[in-house]
């Protein structure tokens, strides 16, 4: 299973917000910390806001904050919300296949996807935001 860069950036932004001492960051701060495109992160922030994971604060001292506790947001729910296509094999959709009536591949891949998502469901953003002090140091965030 391979996740999109958009999902990766979304999870990174959520981790960044979870480890901020004030819980607030700007898009430019997140982009600088991870050395990724600010333009991409603007799109990420918009989608995370629409999905209810982040809130935006306007004006002086504004930025992004987590809309819910990092412990309440699971990686699984974020991945399901952001990933456009979780079909591992074409037969998950409507692709024709000669062996479909007896195929075990589809069922095996379905079980694998569910196991993958179960691990992500058991992991929160708060879990990923550890070890907090080391992450802050690596991302250049003052305590």
Looking at residue 135, which CATH number applies to its domain?
1.10.10.10
- Side-by-side strand order, sheet with 54-57: 24-25, 63-66, 54-57
Q: Distance between CA 75 and CA 11 in Å, rounded?
A: 8
| Contact by Cβ (8 Å): 67, 55 | yes
Q: pTM for the full model?
A: 0.90
Domain count, the chain: 1
- Res 29: pLDDT: 95
| Chain mean pLDDT for the chain | 92
Per-residue pLDDT band at 38 (split at 50, 70, 90): very high
Residue found under tokens 């919300």: 81
Per-residue pLDDT band at 21 (split at 50, 70, 90): confident
- 106: which 2 tokens? 């589809």
Residue found under tokens 């990686």: 75
Burial class (CB in 10 A: 0-12, 13-18, 19+), 44: buried
Task: Mark 2-18 as b/e (b = at least 16 C-beta within 10 Å).
Answer: eeeeebebbbbbbbbbb
> Of 103 and 140, which is predicted with more confidence?
140
Instruction: Identify the domain containing residue 100 by its residue range.
Output: 5-139
For residue 13, give the nearest of 82, 112, 111 by alpha carbon.
82
């Amino acid at each position: 299973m391979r996740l999109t860069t958009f999902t990766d950036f979304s999870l990174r932004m959520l981790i960044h917000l979870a480890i901020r001492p004030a819980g607030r960051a700007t898009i430019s701060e997140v982009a600088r910390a991870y050395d990724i495109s600010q333009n991409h992160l603007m799109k990420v922030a918009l989608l995370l806001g629409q999905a209810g994971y982040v809130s935006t604060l306007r004006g002086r001292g504004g930025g992004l904050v987590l809309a819910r506790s990092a412990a309440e947001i699971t990686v699984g729910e974020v991945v399901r919300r952001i990933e456009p296509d979780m079909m591992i094999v074409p037969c998950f959709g409507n692709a024709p296949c000669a062996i479909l009536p007896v195929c075990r591949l589809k069922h095996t891949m379905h079980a694998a996807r569910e196991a993958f998502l179960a691990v992500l469901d058991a992991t929160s953003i708060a879990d990923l935001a550890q070890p907090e002090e080391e992450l802050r140091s690596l991302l250049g965030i003052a305590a």
